Structure 1
Amino acid sequence: MSQPHESDRLIRGRQALAAIDGEAGEKVISALADIAPDFATYLLEFPFGDIYSRPGLDLRSRETATIAALTAMGTAPAQLKVHIEAGLNVGLSREEIVEIIMQMAVYAGFPAALNGLFVAREAFTAREGNAETST
């Protein structure tokens, strides 16, 4: 629930984060509460409230781009894992995610793609574990 003093950007950001990342996104925001609550606000307002909420690309396309970028960067495995989960949440299949990561071998090199594939395996395994736990 939004607070009366929250900006439209923050409200949009909270809504987008919930739709895209669900519980994983809330864990990131909560983890910042004791060290950098302002950063959590910036994270909600700019990427989610401003960028993810823009018209022009659907969430599936945005997550495709994000997974590709994080794979190519090769320096953000925790964020890549969150966005692989988000990709699954917005309709990407495991096969599509694997193909997106493999495509990055052409542009970012085999090490980046290998690392991305290993992160994908972790994300897929964690999702399977959560599905088994909830049944």
Structure 2
Amino acid sequence: MDPANSSPANSNPAYNDPRYQAGWHKLAEVDGEQGQRVIDSLQGIAPDMARYIIEFGFGDIYSRPGLDLRSREIATVAALTALGHAQPQLRVHIHGALNVGVTPTEVIETIMQMALYAGFPAALNALFSCREVFAERGVSPA
């Protein structure tokens, strides 16, 4: 994902804003190809939502200095697991967690921890999403 060469960045001069650029680089660092797919999927229906995700989510929040990316992705996997109904977003962030150095075991343990607070159905749904991501990446859960 290169902000200088992506279709959103080339189609609107507002995307040359430093906040957007910082967010784009952070999105690429964390979510890579998965993040690009999310942004691309929004272009035909809600390009402003794509811009908000980049500027606010990744430019403002993910770029803050208080937590490293591993910690942020563990927290995100936990939160999406607890929601229990955000499997597409959870899959993106399981990829992201693995991209920033969270181990497969840590992803599984994070999800299992959520069974205590979000319930077994939410944790089971998340584990099934986790299995899909691991299979897609050829990752062993142990």
User: TM-score, normalization: structure 1?
Assistant: 0.92
Pairing 1:15–2:25 present = yes
After TM superposition, the structure 1 = structure 2 runs for residues 50-69 of structure 1, keeping only pairs within 5 Å, are: 50-69=60-79
Please give the alpha-carbon distance, in whole angstroms, between the structure 2 residues aligned to 1:32 and 1:87.
Answer: 22
Q: Secondary structure of the residue that 1:117 maps to in structure 2?
A: helix
Quick one: which of 76, 101, 115 aligns to 1:105?
115
How far has the Cα of 1:89 moved from its partner?
0.2
CA distance in 1, matches of 2:85, 2:126: 10
Is 1:120 matched with 2:130?
yes
What's the CA shift for 1:38? 1.0
Distance 1:11 1:63 in 2: 20
**Matching of residues 34-45 of structure 1 within 5 Å:** 34-45=44-55
Q: 1:95 is matched with which residue?
A: 105
Instruction: Quote how far apart the aligned CAs of 1:9 are.
Output: 1.4
DSSP 3-state at the match of 2:20: helix
Unaligned residue ranges in structure 1 (runs of 5+): 130-135
| Corresponding residue number in structure 2 for 1:24 | 34
SS across alignment from 1:55: coil
Matched, 1:86 2:96: yes
How far did residue 75 of structure 1 move? Answer: 1.2
TM-score, with normalisation over the residues of structure 2?
0.87
Aligned to 2:85: 75
Percent of matched pairs sharing the same residue: 59
For each residue in 1:21-40, what CA deviation from the matched residue of structure 2 results, as whole angstroms up to 9, or x when unmatched?
A: 00110011011111111111
* Number of corresponding residues: 129
Q: Which amino acid aligns with 1:64?
A: I
CA RMSD of aligned residues (A): 1.3
Cα deviation, 1:37-75, whole Å, max 9, x if unaligned, reads: 111101100110000000010000000000000000001
Q: Deviations over 1:53-103 (max 9, x none)?
A: 000100000000000000000010000000000000000111010000000
